[in-house]
Amino acid sequence: MIALIRPLVLRLHRVPLGPTAAEDKVLVYGDLKPEHIMFPDGPDKAPYFIDPGLMRAAPSVDAAKLISRTTLSLAASGASAVAAKGIALGIQEFVRTLLGNADRLRRDAMLRRLLVLWCMDTINIMTTYLSAPSAVPLPVQGRRLAEDPLPVLRLVNAASDLLTTRSESTAAWERALDGVSRVGA
Mean per-residue pLDDT over the chain, rounded: 87
pLDDT of residue 108: 85
User: Over 70: is that where the pLDDT of 166 sits?
Assistant: no
pLDDT per residue as tens digits for the range 100-132? 888 888 888 888 889 999 999 999 999 999 999
13 vs 92: which has the higher pLDDT: 92
- Mean pLDDT value across residues 134-160: 91
Distance (Å, rounded) from C-alpha 161 to C-alpha 100?
A: 26
CA angle 119-97-93, nearest 5°? 70
Reported pTM: 0.85
- Mean pLDDT value across residues 166-176: 82
Domain boundaries, the chain: 1-13+61-133+141-185
pLDDT of residue 90: 95
pLDDT of residue 19: 58
> What are the DSSP calls for 79-101, one per residue?
--HHHHHHHHHHHHHHHHHHHTT
For residues 163 and 115, the answer to whether their CB atoms sit within 8 Å is yes
pLDDT per residue as tens digits for the range 33-45? 778 888 999 989 9
Closest listed residue to residue 60, CA positions, set 7, 5, 18: 18
